[in-house]
Structure 1
Amino acid sequence: MQHSRQRTELKAFLRARRAALAPEAMGLPRGGRRLTPGLRREEVAVLAEVGVTWYTWLEQGRAINVSAAALARIARALRLDATDEAYLFSLAGLARAEPVRNHVVLPPTMQGVLDLYQAPAFVLDPAFDVLACNAMAERLYQFREFHGRFAANHLWNAFMNPARRRLYEPCFEPGMLNLLGIFRVNQAAHPDDPRFDALIEALAEASTDFLALWQRHQVAPLTAWIAHFRHPEFGEVRVHSNRFPLRDADGTASGATAFFFVPEDAATAASFARIARRLQRSGEAAAAPA
């Protein structure tokens, strides 16, 4: 845990998860007056079979030695799911099995792959800047319509662009928690990329919604996400949002993630087919936002 940002997030994450566990749910008596709504530090230490002082130092974000075995026991004690546990290990510096890059260069064939897909598909870098998209995704999100410092950033527009807010309206909060969860995992894996801090600081100042959801310290599930959008042209659509980490030609993780939407119902499939035919007639194509 060499990076202060990771230590700060580790403190907040452990405290949030500890506070969310009722002692009764863990087979512990609530007892008398508690200063915390959830478990005490010493209770977590006992459940995880670690020393109270050592766990206190861990939760305080001190620069201490952390083993994978001890961290796994803490994850079990806090009843973390697979995604939360992976995030905890990443914060502790035990999850980066291979180097990752802050600057992503997509293979020249990537745009062709996106264009062949007959539903919205796009690529985000670790900080959620849009690197490429197909015409269906451009039509849905209107990536190239936005301007300003964070114009190409998917997360910024989700909170700050009125058109994007209307798109997410049917399930804004769960949708944003999903995006923030993916973003939070990316941030933990890229502690040296200053773009994360800049974006978080700007959003925290500009959006009370962002700040409230960000402070929940939730991590996105590892499974696919079912999203619900409302769009003036597409109508009401529901999709399985499938994400795939991209690798360079030599097999190294690029840090970029490709998102491919799959219709969740017949109405969405019909909507996508209708828009695809319209785009085909007009000859529209999309590329990386400027």
Structure 2
Amino acid sequence: MASESPVVARRRREQLRDFLRTRRARLTPGDVGMAAGGRRRTPGLRREEVAVLAGVGVSWYTWLEQGRDINVSVEVLDAIGRALRLTGPEREHLYLLAGLHPPRPGGAGAAPVTSELWQLLDAWAPRPAVLRDRYWNLLAVNGAARTVFGYGDTDHNCLITFFTSARYRDVCLEWASAAPAVVAAFRADAAHCPGDPEFGRVVDDLHAVSPEFAELWARHDVGVPGQVVKAVRHPEVGDLFLDTTTLAVVDHPDWYLELSHPRSGTGTGARLERLLPTRAAVPV
């Protein structure tokens, strides 16, 4: 966080000091497999005990807890987080207070989709709703998204479907004009994790089968998956125009909801009602 002012940096270190003290105070030696070692004047672990558990010098840990301006590595922060039995959100908070960017959670699809998210996707019908991960892998779609966009059982990644599914391309009215923005948004997401092989796998797979993707990827354009209008020509009810917004799922930072809503004044809402009875969301 090199751009922060000295005042902001000082306040951040003060918060780090208080955070570490309170996390240390809530643990007892018995919680971490240590002997109590006699009477204690204050509750919780001693600084030297945390230092031993984390494998760092007592003086260095003391300086960190005092909020001094010292260099901190990712490996040391991870060790301190383990020593203090920090939760996931607490570990992220520790990184931020130490002036580092928290590591992104690893593993695509590591956690199951919660029942609350299933219910949200179901309740969004007859409007299309999609849940995807950071690699644009589809985690769940509701029945409306399947019917409107043509997602099938073999579709597992939004980007791959966009470039390889003839069915998707047939219904997408503005496919050619949308393609550059789609690739630019994926490149922006991939830039957050330059060493992540899963992003590379998606890119390599598409290079092998889609010259159009390869050409767009070579441009190195960068964008964001902001609010867009998706135009679909459905064979049963005609043209559908959908305002689509991408929202982050706060308790799963690498999951994203893409919610589509009928564009006002286009008659899309009435067409969706005719086309779609209520259909349950399904995994992909």
Give the TM interval when normalised to the shorter protein: 0.5 to 0.7
User: How much has 1:242 moved relative to structure 2?
Assistant: 0.3
User: How much has 1:222 moved relative to structure 2?
Assistant: 5.9
Matched, 1:161 2:160: no
Aligned identity (percent) is 22
**Equivalent position of 1:270 in the other structure:** 270
Deviations 1:152-199 (A, max 9, x none): 11111111111011122x211232223222211221122343121111
- Residues 102, 255 of structure 1: 8 Å contact kept: no
The one of 187, 199, 202 equivalent to 2:205 is 202
- Residues 139, 283 of structure 2: 8 Å contact kept: yes
User: How much has 1:100 moved relative to structure 2?
Assistant: 3.7
Aligned residues: 182
User: How much has 1:111 moved relative to structure 2?
Assistant: 0.7
Distance 1:224 1:205, change over 3 A: same
- Taking CA–CA contacts closer than 8 Å with sequence separation of 6 or more, which of the two structures ends up with the larger relative contact order? 1
Superposition pairs for residues 86-165 of structure 1, below 5 Å? 96=101, 99-104=104-109, 105=111, 106-117=113-124, 118-146=126-154, 151-165=155-169
SS at match of 2:174: helix
- Residues 230, 241 of structure 2: 8 Å contact kept: yes
Q: C-alpha root-mean-square deviation of aligned residues, in Å?
A: 2.3
Gaps of 5+ in 2: 1-98
SS at match of 1:144: coil
Matched, 1:238 2:241: yes
| Letter of the 2:107 counterpart | N
Distance 1:240 1:220, change over 3 A: farther
User: How much has 1:203 moved relative to structure 2?
Assistant: 1.0
Distance 1:234 1:133, change over 3 A: farther
Distance 2:274 2:283 in 1: 24
User: How much has 1:99 moved relative to structure 2?
Assistant: 3.1
SS at match of 2:107: coil
- Residues 126, 183 of structure 1: 8 Å contact kept: no
Distance 2:194 2:236 in 1: 40
| Letter of the 1:159 counterpart | F
Deviations 1:76-122 (A, max 9, x none): xxxxxxxxxxxxxxxxxx99556344334232210100100130001
Which one is further off, 174-183 or 117-126? 174-183
Distance 1:131 1:166, change over 3 A: same
- Residues 131, 141 of structure 2: 8 Å contact kept: yes
| Letter of the 2:144 counterpart | M
**Equivalent position of 1:188 in the other structure:** 191
Is the radius of gyration larger for structure 1 or structure 2?
2
SS at match of 2:207: helix
**Equivalent position of 1:286 in the other structure:** 281
| Letter of the 1:99 counterpart | R
- Residues 128, 259 of structure 2: 8 Å contact kept: yes
User: How much has 1:274 moved relative to structure 2?
Assistant: 1.6
Distance 1:196 1:98, change over 3 A: closer
| Letter of the 1:236 counterpart | D
SS at match of 2:269: helix
